[in-house]
């Protein structure tokens, strides 16, 4: 059994998503995941509370990256510029060698109503994190709300374009998405 | 037992929300609701699939009113004007004599995690309805997305202002909210 710990989380994630696809999400056990990853159950539980968190743990990482990007932007930065910085910051989560994992995760969630509800709940958390970040920069409640709604739309759009575009880098897609969003938002708010 | 059917739905809704508050949502039965409303279980099931739908049936009515308002707006209307029309269209749902029902509903949902998930799900449906409506008016996918996000924010903000403002008419609050939203959105999209 490999003891190369830094990679353990990624190996557990890959093993989980393979097994969910092969045997079904409901019937796969943590013991099977650990075995496939060549690790112990104890190691699994050091990284994830349960098998559901394999699917949703990444969203906490995303929320953290958004929070940092919004807090660290220069005082003069406009909200849409800050959203651009945030999408650049999350790009490592959407590295090209993770595309197959991301697609498997989407397929599993699409097949389970309770996981879809959880996904919506996590999306609401991400939005709340953005509202807080923009408020902390001095935006009014409503302006922070608008910035967060646009942020979520930018993220979702860039994400879907990335999974649909065969092998293009997330950072390139993010930049295009932000430019398109600026055009669209200007049309709507006229 | 009264046979005055047009009011049956409202009586069932009021009876349900009273009983949920008095005895708890989980333990209240449809039989008890029907009895409190002075109607039969059969009448209950003509209006609602189950007791959960008493809490969420109104959201379908809202979605329908949003769809109509977006479809019926003049071709020249800008998206924020259309959202203003939509908020005017839903005002009857938030008549002042329904404020106590709305507050009871909020309290019950806030106390149940599964009802909160359902509420998020219904909010996503309302947004999807708005995206479709704006697309059908010729907006790009992204512009329709922006309009729908702003629509949802406008609705949510007007709603929370209405439940917090002691006894002000929803239409007045909606007009103020739209004006504030226009200011906020202009700040964000600069």
Q: Which of A56, A46, A52 is nearest to A26 (CA)?
A: A52
Nearest by CB to B147, from A78, A117, A188: name it.
A188
Tell me the count of A-B CB pairs closer than 8 A.
96
Do B85 and B145 form a contact (C-beta atoms < 8 A)?
Answer: no
Q: What is the ipTM of this complex?
A: 0.80
Nearest by CB to A142, from B80, B117, B157: name it.
B157
| Interface residue of B139, B142, B173 to substitute, partner A, most A CBs within 10 Å | B142
Q: Write down the domain spans for chain B.
A: 1-48, 54-188
Helix (H, G, I), strand (E, B) or coil at B96: helix
The yes-or-no verdict on residue B2 having pLDDT over 70 is no
The yes-or-no verdict on residue B166 having pLDDT over 80 is no
**pLDDT under 50: residue ranges of chain A:** 1-5
Q: Is B167 left (phi over 0), alpha (psi -120 to 50) or beta?
A: left
Rounded to the nearest 10 degrees, the angle between the axes of helix A170-188 and helix B141-164 is 60
Q: B54-188: what fold?
A: Tetracycline Repressor; domain 2 (1.10.357)
Mean pLDDT (whole number) for B159-170: 92
Q: Which CATH class is domain A52-188?
A: mainly alpha
Residue with tokens 């990679």: A7
Can you give the pLDDT at residue A6?
Answer: 55
Q: What is the 3-state secondary structure (H, E, C) of chain A?
A: CCCCHHHHHHHHHHHHHHHHHHHCCCCCCHHHHHHHHCCCHHHHHHHCCCHHHHHHHHHHHHHHHHHHHHHHCCCCCCHHHHHHHHHHHHHHHHCHHHHHHHHHHHHHHHCCHHHHHHHHHHHHHHHHHHHHHHHHCCCCHHHHHHHHHHHHHHHHHHHHHHHHCCCCCHHHHHHHHHHHHHHHHHHHCC
Interface contact A181, partner B, CB < 8 A: yes
Q: Give the number of other Cβ atoms within 10 Å of residue B84's Cβ.
A: 22
- Both tokens of B21, joined, read 């508050």
Range B1-48: architecture per CATH: Orthogonal Bundle (1.10)
Per CB-CB distance under 8 Å, the chain A contacts of B143 are 184-185, 187-188
Mean pLDDT (whole number) for B5-33: 91
Q: Could you tell me the CA-to-CA distances from B20 to A77, B32, B121 in Å, in that order? A: 49, 10, 22
Nearest by CB to B184, from A80, A120, A143: name it.
A143
Per CB-CB distance under 8 Å, the chain A contacts of B78 are 190
Rounded to the nearest 10 degrees, the angle between the axes of helix A113-136 and helix A99-110 is 120
| pLDDT confidence band for B120 (50 / 70 / 90) | confident
Distance CA B135, CA B145 (A): 9
Can you give the pLDDT at residue A18?
Answer: 94
Write the pLDDT tens digit of every residue in A46-81: 999 999 999 998 888 899 999 999 999 999 999 999
Can you give the pLDDT at residue A122?
Answer: 87
């Amino acid at each position: 059994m490999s003891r190369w710990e830094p990679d353990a989380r990624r190996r557990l994630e890959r093993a989980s998503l393979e097994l969910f696809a092969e045997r079904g999400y409901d019937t796969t056990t943590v013991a099977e995941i650990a075995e496939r990853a060549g690790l112990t159950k104890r190691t699994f539980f050091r990284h994830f509370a349960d098998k559901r968190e394999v699917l949703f743990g990444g969203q906490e990482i995303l929320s953290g990256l958004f929070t940092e990007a919004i807090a660290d932007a220069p005082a003069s930065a406009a909200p849409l510029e800050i959203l651009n910085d945030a999408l650049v910051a999350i790009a490592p989560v959407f590295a090209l060698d993770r595309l197959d994992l991301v697609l498997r995760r989407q397929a599993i969630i699409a097949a389970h109503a309770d996981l879809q509800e959880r996904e919506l709940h996590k999306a609401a958390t991400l939005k709340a994190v953005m509202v807080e970040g923009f408020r902390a920069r001095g935006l009014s409640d409503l302006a922070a709300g608008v910035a967060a709604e646009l942020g979520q739309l930018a993220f979702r759009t860039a994400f879907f374009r990335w999974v649909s575009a065969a092998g293009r880098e997330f950072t390139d897609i993010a930049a295009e998405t932000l430019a398109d969003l600026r055009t669209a938002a200007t049309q709507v708010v006229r």
